[in-house]
């Protein structure tokens, strides 16, 4: 696994408050001085990314996030950048009182937001309405300002957190700023990396404000971002038996494509041998499309048994269906005690017949499947993806990949990693089948469940980003197979072309 990188650490709001208190005490700073560092970092970010902008509008809430905005306005004025300030409330509180006074005492005007008024003319809007403390939908007046900023068409820079976004969960209960850029302070907040955050954060930059990680080393992070990884070089004396035998089980009538994609991705991810157990009518097509796969027609558990005995790892569920055929294969596969990846209808069957696993197992639900496994609505899953992933891992004693924007990988002990890659083009049929095959191949090559899930999710998402360079719309699952092979070997595009 890769070396430790503090910039990959993700924290909850409660942890962030403790870090703030620790930093102020350790560095002997006042709240206003830390606010000044934040506003200076924000102005630096603004001038680097929008050097041509000559007129900005800063939107300030009543708390410390608004204080960051007021001090940013002060600094912008000092460097000769025309700036207007819109405030939600006639007064601020906490350290923001001092920041607001500094703006006013220097001759600055504060326009109190009126939902019936027009926004000031600006080439850039700065969102300093709400920070990490917001855990509810913005009130009506604030929501009207957020909606007006979003509709204006000028780019938006968010300070610390896009207003309306829950910094803990990534949930957006109501109106939320859609930022082009977000500069977040001191450490990464976990909610900015999953769920609806993908549509609101834009390009994210961390400004540590000169606070070294050693100051808050006693605060363990809640989660981490995945790092880019590949498998080590192969033994020069290896053979196909050295890299495991994956058995893909699924492909009910009309679903041959699912097992084809899972099998192909297992091959491209490095499994030494890949077999497919499917409906007999699919065998000829699979042999023609991918002769490297060993396709077998199985009409029930008795025909599946010898294939299970030869396999090292199972990929169970792609196109399996929930008919008597699929259910019988599912039960037989689980009773084999083999390490496995469970996806699609394999998960839907698990929702009907829950169990805890005693062999290495990876579950890969999307939010709909997770909702059935947890017995809650999809909206409840998306409201707190971190809690949902951890509960599934605990309940089933398995590693869980909760798919979606900012996919999460959780284990039964509460460890959790977040995927920073991927794109909307991957919202197409067959992508989950690819991920199942990739993770199964990594298990077959000796990774444990946690390693296989983390490396597999990263490879899958990064391959999707490579494939999307030709455009997100129209991206096919099979488009990922070539970059998957390149990335799995740790090669760059230039090495590939050479």
Give the pair of three-digit tokens for residue 354.
């829950």
What would the pLDDT profile of 355-400 be if each residue is shown by its tens digit? 999 999 999 999 999 999 999 999 999 999 999 999 999 999 999 9
Between strands 408-410 and 416-418, the pairing is: antiparallel
Q: Where are the domains of the chain?
A: 6-222, 240-497
The average confidence (pLDDT) of the chain is 94
Between strands 223-225 and 9-11, the pairing is: antiparallel
- Provide φ and ψ at 310, rounded to 5°: -85, -15
Exposure of 284 in the CB half-sphere (CA atoms within 13 A): 1
pTM, two decimals, is 0.94
In the block, tokens 């408050």 appear at 17
Which residues lie across from 11 on neighbouring strands? 189
Q: Which CATH architecture has domain 240-497?
A: 3-Layer(aba) Sandwich (3.40)
User: In Å, what is the CA distance from 309 to each residue of 12, 340, 414?
Assistant: 45, 14, 33
What is the pLDDT at residue 498?
A: 40
Q: By the 8 A CB rule, do 328 and 335 touch?
A: no
What is the pLDDT at residue 232?
A: 87
What would the pLDDT profile of 481-495 be if each residue is shown by its tens digit? 999 999 999 876 544
Q: By the 8 A CB rule, do 369 and 376 touch?
A: no
Name the CATH topology of 6-222. Answer: Rossmann fold (3.40.50)
Average pLDDT for 437-456: 98
Return the number of other C-beta atoms located less than 10 Å from residue 97's C-beta.
Answer: 15
User: In Å, what is the CA distance from 364 to each residue of 112, 440, 476?
Assistant: 49, 11, 20
Residue 249 has pLDDT above 80, yes or no: yes
| 264 CB-near residues (< 8 Å, 6+ apart) | 290, 293, 434, 437, 478, 481
DSSP state of 358: S
What is the pLDDT at residue 6?
A: 56
Q: Collapsing DSSP states into helix, strand and coil, what is residue 295?
A: strand
The backbone region for 344, taken as left when phi is positive above 0, alpha when psi lies in -120 to 50, beta otherwise, is left
What is the pLDDT at residue 196?
A: 92
């Amino acid at each position: 696994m890769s070396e430790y990188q503090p910039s990959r650490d993700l924290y909850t709001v409660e942890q962030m408050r403790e870090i703030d208190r620790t930093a102020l005490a350790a560095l002997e700073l006042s709240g206003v001085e830390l606010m000044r560092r934040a506003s200076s970092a924000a102005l630096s970010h603004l001038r680097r990314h929008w050097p041509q902008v000559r007129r900005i509008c800063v939107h300030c809430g009543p708390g410390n996030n608004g204080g960051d905005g007021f001090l940013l306005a002060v600094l912008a004025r000092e460097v000769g950048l025309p700036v207007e300030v819109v405030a939600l409330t006639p007064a601020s509180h906490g350290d923001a009182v001092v920041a607001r006074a500094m703006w006013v005492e220097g001759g600055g005007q504060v326009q109190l937001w009126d939902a019936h008024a027009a926004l000031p003319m600006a080439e850039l809007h700065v969102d300093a309405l709400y920070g990490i403390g917001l855990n509810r939908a913005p009130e009506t007046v604030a929501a009207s300002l957020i909606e007006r900023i979003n509709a204006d068409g000028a780019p938006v820079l968010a300070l610390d957190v896009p207003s309306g976004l829950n910094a803990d969960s990534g949930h957006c209960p109501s109106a939320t700023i859609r930022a082009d850029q977000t500069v977040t302070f001191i450490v990464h907040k976990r909610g900015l990396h999953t769920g609806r955050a993908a549509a609101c954060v834009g390009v994210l930059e961390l400004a540590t404000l000169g606070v070294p990680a050693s100051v808050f080393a006693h605060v363990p992070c809640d989660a981490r971002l995945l790092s880019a990884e590949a498998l080590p070089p192969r033994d020069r004396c290896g053979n196909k038996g050295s890299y495991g035998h994956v058995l893909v089980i699924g492909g009910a009538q009309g679903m041959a494509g699912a097992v084809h994609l899972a099998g192909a991705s297992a091959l491209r991810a490095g499994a030494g041998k890949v077999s497919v157990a499917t409906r007999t009518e699919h065998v000829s097509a699979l042999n023609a499309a991918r002769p490297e796969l060993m396709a077998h027609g199985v009409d029930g558990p008795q025909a599946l048994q010898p294939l299970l005995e030869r396999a090292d790892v199972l990929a169970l569920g792609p196109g399996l269906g929930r008919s008597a055929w699929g259910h019988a294969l599912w039960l037989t596969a689980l009773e084999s005690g083999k390490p496995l990846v469970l996806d699609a209808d394999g998960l839907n069957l698990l929702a009907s017949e829950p169990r805890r696993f005693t062999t290495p197992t990876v579950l890969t639900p999307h939010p709909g499947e997770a909702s059935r496994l947890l017995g809650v609505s999809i909206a409840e899953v998306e409201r707190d993806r971190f809690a949902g992933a951890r509960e599934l891992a605990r309940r089933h004693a398995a590693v869980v990949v909760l798919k979606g924007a900012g996919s999460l990988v959780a284990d039964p002990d509460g460890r959790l990693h977040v995927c920073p890659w991927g794109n909307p083009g991957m919202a197409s049929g067959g992508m989950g089948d690819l991920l199942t095959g990739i993770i199964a191949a990594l298990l077959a090559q000796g990774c444990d469940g946690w390693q296989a899930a983390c490396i597999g999710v990263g490879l899958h998402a990064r391959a999707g980003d490579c494939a999307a360079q030709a455009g997100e719309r129209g991206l096919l699952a099979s488009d990922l197979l070539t970059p998957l092979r390149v990335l799995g070997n740790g090669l760059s595009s230039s090495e590939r072309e050479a």
